[in-house]
Each structure stands twice: as structure tokens, then as C-alpha cells.
């Protein structure tokens, strides 16, 4: 697998490819028939703005296949909010093209995000997803705990309070 795919930090030259990948993976995951699917133009603008703001508050890792195409990515950033004070990091995005799933790439991306947060002194992270997402099982297998609203409802939030434990389940090369 490591000869077929590499993981590296995203760079400004990846903006167009990241935007295309983001639209495609979002649509695969969230079914564009529901409406509200982001356009390629919007994603290019968003990624362009993110790379214009290189202040160390966020990072992104990409999975590159053997021909140089991006097939997955994960974006992390610092997190600070009174509703979830136990968490310092946010897994803002994680997507892998459907045809490349179940090959350990999501696990590797999680590992890189956990490693980066730990390197930056951040010991915990959370993510906000769709409560009905099939990806939720993956998060649970990776040790994430469901985060419940004050009402007791689950809205798709997951958290890792110990990133060292998560990192031990992942492969970072």
C-alpha cells in the first residue's frame, strides 16, 4: 500500500485538485440529491482562502496515488468552544474517494492528524458529522466516543480525548 499511496502535507498548488476532490467526495458521501451540494467554484474559493491564511491555525494532509492524483484528504484546526471544552483540536474534514475506501487510507489520515496535533501540544480532538453517516462506524472503530447534546440527542459529533491512544491504532510513515 505505501508504494501505491503517499500522504503528504497539502500545498497551495493543490487548491484546484483539492476543490475537485472535495466536491466529488462530498457528493459521494452526502448524496447531492438532497440539495445544497457545494459547487466547484465555491470549494476553489474556500481552499484558496484557506491557503492565503497560512498562520498555523490549520493544516491539511492529502493522499496521493501512484500517478499523482489526490484521492483523499483530512483538514485539522485548533478548536475552542464552551460547548465542548474538553477538546482542543478539530478534525474539520476527512474524505477518501469511495473507490479507495477500505484500504487503510482513512486510518492513515487520522494518524497524521493525530500526530500533527500531538506535535503541536494538542491532546484531544473532535469532529462534527452527520448522525446518519456510514462513516460513523469507522470513527467508533477508531475509538471515538459519541458526543451527545444537553438534550441527550446525538447529532453526529465524535471525540477522542486521548490522541496518543488514537495514534497507536494508526500507521504514520
Strand extents, DSSP E, the chain = 6-9, 58-64, 70-78, 89-96, 125-128, 145-148, 154-160
Looking at the structure of the chain, the number of domains it has is 1
Q: What residue has cell string 499511496?
A: 5
82 falls within a domain: yes
C-alpha cell at 33: 440529491
Per-residue model confidence as pLDDT tens digits over 24-61:
988 888 765 556 678 899 999 999 999 998 788 899 99
Confidence of residue 1 (pLDDT cuts 50, 70, 90): very low
The residues facing 90 across adjacent strands are: 77, 126
Q: Which stretch of 35-39, 100-104, 107-111, 120-124 has the lowest confidence by average pLDDT?
A: 35-39
- The CATH number covering residue 135 comes to 3.40.630.30
CA proximity to 147, closest of 136, 138, 158, 139: 158
Residues 6 or more apart whose Cβ sits within 8 Å of residue 37? 23, 26, 27, 30
Query: Domain of 30?
Result: 6-167
1 falls within a domain: no
133 falls within a domain: yes
173 falls within a domain: no
* This prediction's pTM: 0.91
Q: What is the pLDDT of residue 134?
A: 82
Per-residue model confidence as pLDDT tens digits over 137-160:
999 999 999 998 888 888 889 999
C-alpha cell at 47: 481552499
Mean pLDDT of 119-140: 91
CA proximity to 91, closest of 143, 63, 129: 129
172 falls within a domain: no
Residues 6 or more apart whose Cβ sits within 8 Å of residue 87? 79, 124, 125, 126, 159, 161
115 falls within a domain: yes
Residues 6 or more apart whose Cβ sits within 8 Å of residue 15? 44, 47, 48, 51
Q: State how far the Cα of 115 lies from the Cα of 128, in Å rounded to an integer.
A: 20
102 falls within a domain: yes
Amino acid at each position: 500500500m505505501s508504494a501505491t499511496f503517499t500522504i503528504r502535507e497539502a500545498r497551495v498548488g493543490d487548491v484546484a485538485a483539492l476543490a475537485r476532490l472535495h466536491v466529488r467526495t462530498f457528493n459521494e458521501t452526502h448524496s447531492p440529491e438532497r440539495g445544497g451540494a457545494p459547487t466547484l467554484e465555491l470549494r476553489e474559493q474556500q481552499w484558496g482562502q484557506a491557503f492565503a491564511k497560512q498562520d498555523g491555525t490549520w493544516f491539511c494532509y492529502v493522499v496521493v496515488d501512484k500517478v499523482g492524483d489526490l484521492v483523499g484528504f483530512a483538514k485539522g484546526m485548533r478548536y475552542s468552544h464552551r460547548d465542548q471544552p474538553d477538546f482542543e483540536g478539530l478534525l474539520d474534514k476527512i474524505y477518501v474517494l469511495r473507490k479507495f475506501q477500505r484500504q487503510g487510507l482513512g486510518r492513515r489520515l487520522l494518524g497524521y492528524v493525530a500526530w500533527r496535533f500531538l506535535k503541536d501540544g494538542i491532546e484531544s480532538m473532535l469532529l462534527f458529522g452527520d448522525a446518519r453517516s456510514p462513516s460513523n462506524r469507522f470513527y467508533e472503530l477508531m475509538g471515538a466516543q459519541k458526543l451527545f447534546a444537553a438534550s441527550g440527542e446525538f447529532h453526529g459529533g465524535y471525540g477522542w480525548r486521548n490522541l496518543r491512544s488514537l495514534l497507536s491504532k494508526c500507521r504514520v510513515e
